[in-house]
Structure 1
Amino acid sequence: MNLRVARHGRLKPLLPGYLALACSALIAVAGAAAMIEMTYHLQLNAALGPQIGFLGMTLDARSTATWIGAGIVFAVGLGLFEVCRRRFALAWGATQEGVERDLRSGL
């Protein structure tokens, strides 16, 4: 579908929406990855202590605040993704309607 949209010259207006989706997904993935890394550290590297390096930060895998922080980052990322997804869906629908009009008019 993206190729069809690009062929009709209508992809450029959608690029900010794609960027917003990617950024919000990256935030959610960072929160989830932090929780996964802390779980992994507690299960397999507990003898090394509770501190773990992650994305240039030091996380304390035994601290409730760290878990809550990672959960908040994950939840905020998911919330932002949903907002961006809804906006993108509207823009995508309008773009598809424009492509259909072009096809019907023979462009």
Structure 2
Amino acid sequence: MYRIYTRTGDKGTTALFGGSRIDKDDIRVNAYGTVDELISQLGVCYASSRQAELRQDLHAIQKMLFVLGAELASDEKGLARLTQTINAEDIQALEQLIDRNMAQSGPL
């Protein structure tokens, strides 16, 4: 059975992927928590949409955000072990997605 507790107590720190520890109030923890919340909200949008193209876009964005979250939650040792990281191609794909959707929706 999987346990949800560690029995190590809470000393106000959390482990990064790679093994190092940082304070729970570190901006990095806040950042990957915020990314996690965004992933969840996009999931709600995905589940609510009947538009195939929008669902495809939301899924692609979620995948990139999962990678970003993993990067934020990793120290140098952990980063070296990741099999995927955000790269220039990902940024370009996201920019193209934004441009396409802005052209369809018009000015905000």
Same structural fold, with TM-score higher than 0.5 when normalized by the shorter chain: no
Q: So what's the TM-score if we normalise by structure 2? A: 0.32
Q: So what's the TM-score if we normalise by structure 1? A: 0.33
